Structure 1
């Protein structure tokens, strides 16, 4: 394992709906809200799911009120459940596997999320001891994706999340402190620690926010236009309707596609290489 291999693993974690049996459209619960115009219980196909597992209104989801569908991203968990766990068997042809398939999907989604964070951490230049610990963690998580349905359903993911969280925190601290040491001005650690901060609606246009810790922060509708967000730890941060037009997130840490899909941006927003620019953003 080296940095480049880890980076490639992170970039490979993308959804391929052509190899999935519409699991996000079936397995998950939908509650009528500003993100969805309908209620749908888990295990029931969406009214717009077609027989080939495509979406009847895919090109007009936002116009039809299905904003939440354009935000959701499974990091490739759907195709793995469909093609690996269930070996290409689908819930329409074999109804008796449906419930189990729908229960496995969110478990696989969580595993893929952990793989995404771990492989991203391994793509950074970090101390050898930390790199080795993360490498072992990645192998364990990758092995979980090969388990059968019964084994996946019996997993206690907490035993993987807690040690991984410690390793990711250590990675974040090392990377950010290295960047902070190069920044001008006073190096007061309190200025960079905003974990779980409530910044809802805060005006931060054009601010230099490099290397701050925004783990689990509430950033709903925050104005971050043209802000410098390089080296910021975004793990678990709520980015719904954050205005990122013109912002620099090129080296933002632990960002997911779902976080970015829920934000606002434009062609001038700079993103990490593993994040795709949302089609609904302003060009």
Structure 2
């Protein structure tokens, strides 16, 4: 399964300005591309919402060889309820630690040389206080599971991930599609996994011809398929094929055809200015205030 690779994690955000400041100014990521949409995504990329929304990809480098974040913003929603499903993302960057201290962004110690910083919305980021590597600084994404053995079987035997490490003391398993890729850590939490309304999605790519095989295997094994194989259009860009799955704890998993995705995900030199322009033009907060209403809490 070496042709498969980890792409990104999808976060729902209620405040684009504060969120952009965290990723750009604290973590030191850059805006890779930004897109605005007038109606909901066929593959529910923005959650179960039909209205206007935007997608912003942020990371330390191009999506071809970096694990990045997809920030989805629904114009009418100002807040999401956080569950316990997303346990945190770990990255190595003493610069991010330094940025947080300089900007007064709250940090708490989470281990030797490890600090916890929360993104707007409460999403947890663990910052390893070591020099940022020239390759991707993002090391792993940790998801909660209710049955570690069952989930390990799903991700390794069905999806083809390699098990790199098992830690019985911490009740975790570390998996991945390659040694030099961002890893997936599964953490047994001793109870049910709650996705809240902020639930995210993890995305991977594979050769396009593998997508029907993935879908067929999940049908054969009686596993959940949230969105059967579908083509997604982005105006002026490549059309990609995706299939959306759910693991035994209902974590959403997107597999996308690699060839078209590489074309779609090329860095847009205007991404930064497109996001800033969209935020400046977004009068939704003013509209809600003028009409003495609050944005929806999802």
TM-score, L = length of structure 1: 0.25
* Structure of larger gyration radius: 1
Whose helix fraction is larger, Structure 1's or Structure 2's? 1
TM-score, L = length of structure 2: 0.24
Whose strand fraction is larger, Structure 1's or Structure 2's? 2
Which structure exhibits the higher relative contact order, with contacts defined as CA atoms closer than 8 Å and separated by 6 or more residues? 2
